C-alpha cells in the first residue's frame, strides 16, 4: 500500500485549502481495504443556523459531505478531484455537537467515482446522508 | 400580495442566522408572480478552495444553493422551512467573483416544495445548478 | 411484529399494480430489524437497451430502485406511499442477468422517509445505487 | 448545422432499442440553438400504477426522463451516451394522458454533460422534473 496516500499526506493537502482549514475538517482515519475515510468537523459559531440554538446550518453539513467524499476518492487518485455533483439528505438536527463523516467509495472508475457519505453526531445518531459523483482517476 | 413577505422582511430573517450573516448572503429581489428569488453572495477569503486561487470552494456554493432555495420557499410560507434534500451540480469554476443564485419554485405543496436554483458568476456564466426539496406550508 | 406486513401481503399489493406485475418484481425477503427489503426482477425482452445485447436499459433499473424503496417504506406504513424524489447512479452494465435490489430504510419519519437501494446482478456485482425520499407515515 | 443529427436520425437510433421501442418514445422536435429536445410517450396499459386508475407508475416516468435527457445529449455527441446518474422529482399524478418531456442541455463538456428534463401532461401541467448527468463527448 506504499502508493496510497497516508492520513498525514491527505490532511496536509486538506489544510492547503483556506475553506477546509477554516472549517476545521480533520481526517481521522482511512481504511484502504473498504475504501473508507472518516473526517470530523467541530462546531464553529459561524456555522450556527440560528443564534444561540447550537444547531448546525445545513450549508456546512453539505460542505462536510462534499469534502469527505472528495478525500475518499483521493485514496485512489492521490489528491482531491473535482466534484461533479452530490446530493444531501438531512435526517435530524445536529445540536451542540461535532460531526463525523464516514465516506465510502462505492465505485472508482476512470471517468467518475461514486461515494456514499454518512454524517453522525457525537451520539452516533445519523444526522445526514450524502452521495457524490467525482471525477475519476483519468479526470 | 400584502400577505407575502417583503425583501426586507426575509433579509431580516436571514441575518438572524449566524451562518447566513457570516456568508454575506443578500436577497436582491423577489418576483412574486414567477415565484423567483435572487440572492447574492460575495467572495470571502475563508471560502477559497486553494490559497491564492481566488476560486470558490464547492461547499459555500452548495450552502448558497440550499439557502436561496429555502428563501424562495419562504415566499409562500412566510419563513424559511427545513430542507429535506438537495442536489448540487458543478458546471464551471467560479473565480474572483461574487455569485448570484436565482431560485425558482417549481411546486409548492402542503407537504413538500421543489425549487430550482441556478448560480451564475459576475459574467452571467452558469457556475452550478441546484434542485432542492423543502418542507411545505404544513410542515 | 404482528402489525408489520408480511412478504405475502406486500407481494399481493405489488401485483395489483399493472406495471409491477408486468415487470415481474418479486419481494424475496424482509428483515424487520434492519428495515431491509429484498426485491428481484427478471430480465424481459422489452427491458433490453439494444437489440441482442442482453443489456438492461437504465429505465427499468430506475423503476426497480423506485419500487424497492417504496416497499421498504411500506414495512413501516403498511402500504406503498408516494415517491417524492429519487436518485439513480449507474455503476456497471447489467447483462443477461436478473437483478436484485436491497432497500434499506435510513430514516422513517412522519413526513418523509429516506431509503437506500443497492442493485446487484447475478454475480453479486453492484450495478446501480439509488436513494429515494418517500412520503412518511402521516403522508 | 449539417453535422448535427436530425430528428429522423435520432428517432431511428431510439427505435433500435427494444425498451425505447416498446415504450413508444418519440422525438417530437429538436431546437439546436437552445439545445432542447422534446420527446413524447403515450400511456400503455403496462405502465399503469394501479389497475383501472389510468395513473402512470413512476417507473416509466423516470425512464422517460432518463431517455429524453440522453437524446438531448445526443444532439452534441451524435448518439446516445451512458447515463451517469439522474434525479427524478414527482410533482403531480399523471392520469389518462400521454407525457411530453422537454430536455434542455445545461452544460455539455468533454467528460460529462448535465441536462434538465421537465415532464408535462396533456394539459401542459408539470408532472415531474428530472436532472441528469451523462458521459460527455469524450466518454
Please report the pLDDT score of residue A1 as a whole number.
41
Cβ–Cβ gap B133/C87 under 8 Å: no
Predicted ipTM beyond 0.90: yes
- Confidence class for position B138, pLDDT limits 50, 70, 90: confident
Chain A residues near residue D135 by CB distance under 8 angstroms = 111
Enumerate neighbours of D (3 or more CB pairs within 8 A).
A, B, C
* Nearest CB to B17 within list A50, A63, A88: A50
Chain D residues near residue A87 by CB distance under 8 angstroms = 87
- From the CB of residue C90, how many other CB atoms can be counted at a distance below 10 Å? 22
**Looking up cell 451523462, which residue turns up?**
D134
Neighbour order of strands in the sheet with C99-108:
C26-31, C36-41, C99-108, C112-120, C126-135, C83-90, D83-90, D126-135, D112-120, D99-108, D36-41, D26-31
d(Cα C71, Cα C117) in Å, to the nearest integer? 11
d(Cα B96, Cα D98) in Å, to the nearest integer? 47
Question: Would you list the DSSP string of D15-37?
Answer: HTSHHHHHHT-EEEEEETTTTEE
* Nearest CB to D19 within list C47, C64, C67: C47
Please give chain C's pLDDT, 139 residues, in tens. Answer: 448 999 999 999 999 999 999 999 999 999 999 999 999 999 999 999 999 999 999 999 999 999 999 999 999 899 999 999 999 999 999 999 999 999 999 999 989 999 999 999 999 999 999 999 999 888 5
Please report the pLDDT score of residue B3 as a whole number.
79
Residues of A engaging B, defined by a Cβ cutoff of 8 Å: 16-20, 22-23, 45-51, 57-60, 62-64, 66-67, 82-90
Contacts of B33 (CB under 8 A, 6+ apart): none
Q: Which of A62, A18, A3, A65 is nearest to A39 (CA)?
A: A65
Please report the pLDDT score of residue D138 as a whole number.
80
- Compare all CA atoms of chain A with the CA of C109 and give the residue at the minimum distance: A91
Contacts of D114 (CB under 8 A, 6+ apart): A85, B89, B91, B129, D105, D106, D107, D131, D132, D133, D134
Q: Which of A103, A27, A90 is nearest to A60 (CA)?
A: A90
- From the CB of residue D65, how many other CB atoms can be counted at a distance below 10 Å? 32
d(Cα B136, Cα B109) in Å, to the nearest integer? 6
Inform me whether the pLDDT recorded for D31 exceeds 50.
Answer: yes
Chain A residues near residue D84 by CB distance under 8 angstroms = 84, 112, 133
Query: What mean pLDDT do residues D117-122 have?
Result: 98
Percentages helix, strand, coil for chain A (3-state, rounded to 5) are 25, 40, 35
Cβ–Cβ gap D84/A139 under 8 Å: no
Using the Cα atoms of residue D137, residue B130, residue D84 and residue A133 in order, give the sign of their dihedral.
positive
pLDDT in tens, D70-113: 999 999 899 999 999 999 999 999 999 999 999 999 999 999 99
Chain B residues near residue D114 by CB distance under 8 angstroms = 89, 91, 129
D33: exposed, middle or buried (Cβ count in 10 Å: 0-12, 13-18, 19+): exposed
Please report the pLDDT score of residue B139 as a whole number.
58
Residue C125 zone, left/alpha/beta (φ > 0; ψ -120 to 50; rest): beta
Chain A residues near residue C131 by CB distance under 8 angstroms = 87, 89, 129, 131
Contacts of D61 (CB under 8 A, 6+ apart): D88, D90, D94, D99, D119, D127, D128
Interface contacts A/B by beta carbons within 8 Å: 111
Cβ–Cβ gap C90/D84 under 8 Å: yes
Please report the pLDDT score of residue C137 as a whole number.
82
Chain B residues near residue A50 by CB distance under 8 angstroms = 16-18
Distance between B79 CA and the closest CA of chain D, angstroms: 22
Residues D134, D107 contacting (CB under 8 angstroms): no
pLDDT in tens, B2-49: 479 999 999 999 999 999 999 999 999 999 999 999 999 999 999 999
Residue B50 has, within 13 A of its CA and on its CB side, a CA count of 10
Inform me whether the pLDDT recorded for D1 exceeds 50.
Answer: no
Residues of B engaging A, defined by a Cβ cutoff of 8 Å: 16-20, 22-23, 45-51, 57-60, 62-64, 66-67, 82-90
Secondary structure (3-state) at A90: strand
pLDDT in tens, A64-112: 999 999 999 999 899 999 999 999 999 999 999 999 999 999 999 999 9
Chain B residues near residue D107 by CB distance under 8 angstroms = 91-92, 126
Distance between D33 CA and the closest CA of chain C, angstroms: 28
> Bridge-partner residues for D103, per DSSP?
D37, D117
Inform me whether the pLDDT recorded for A139 exceeds 80.
Answer: no
Distance between C32 CA and the closest CA of chain D, angstroms: 25
Distance from CA of residue D4 to its chain's centroid?
18
pLDDT in tens, A33-75: 999 999 999 999 999 999 999 999 999 999 999 999 999 999 9
Residue % of chain D over a pLDDT of 90: 92
Please report the pLDDT score of residue D139 as a whole number.
58
Please report the pLDDT score of residue C139 as a whole number.
59
CA quadruple B98, B68, D92, C132: dihedral, nearest 10: 90
Cβ–Cβ gap B112/C84 under 8 Å: yes
User: Where would I find the beta strands (DSSP E) of B3-139?
Assistant: 26-31, 36-41, 83-90, 99-108, 112-120, 126-135
Cβ–Cβ gap C63/D66 under 8 Å: no
Contacts of A111 (CB under 8 A, 6+ apart): A135, A136, A138, A139, D111, D112, D135, D139
Amino acid at each position: 500500500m506504499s502508493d496510497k496516500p497516508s492520513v498525514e499526506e491527505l490532511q496536509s493537502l486538506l489544510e492547503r485549502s483556506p475553506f477546509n482549514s477554516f472549517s476545521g475538517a480533520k481526517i481521522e482515519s482511512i481504511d484502504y481495504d473498504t475504501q473508507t475515510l472518516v473526517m470530523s468537523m467541530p462546531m464553529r459559531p459561524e456555522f450556527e443556523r440560528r443564534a444561540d440554538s447550537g444547531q448546525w446550518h445545513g450549508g456546512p453539513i453539505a460542505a462536510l459531505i462534499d469534502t469527505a467524499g472528495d478525500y475518499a476518492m483521493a485514496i485512489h487518485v492521490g489528491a482531491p478531484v473535482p466534484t461533479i455533483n452530490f446530493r444531501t439528505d438531512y435526517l435530524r438536527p445536529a445540536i451542540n455537537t461535532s460531526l463525523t463523516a464516514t465516506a465510502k467509495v462505492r465505485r472508482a472508475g476512470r471517468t467518475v467515482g461514486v461515494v456514499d457519505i454518512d454524517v453522525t453526531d457525537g451520539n452516533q445518531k445519523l444526522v445526514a446522508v450524502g452521495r457524490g459523483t467525482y471525477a475519476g482517476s483519468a479526470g
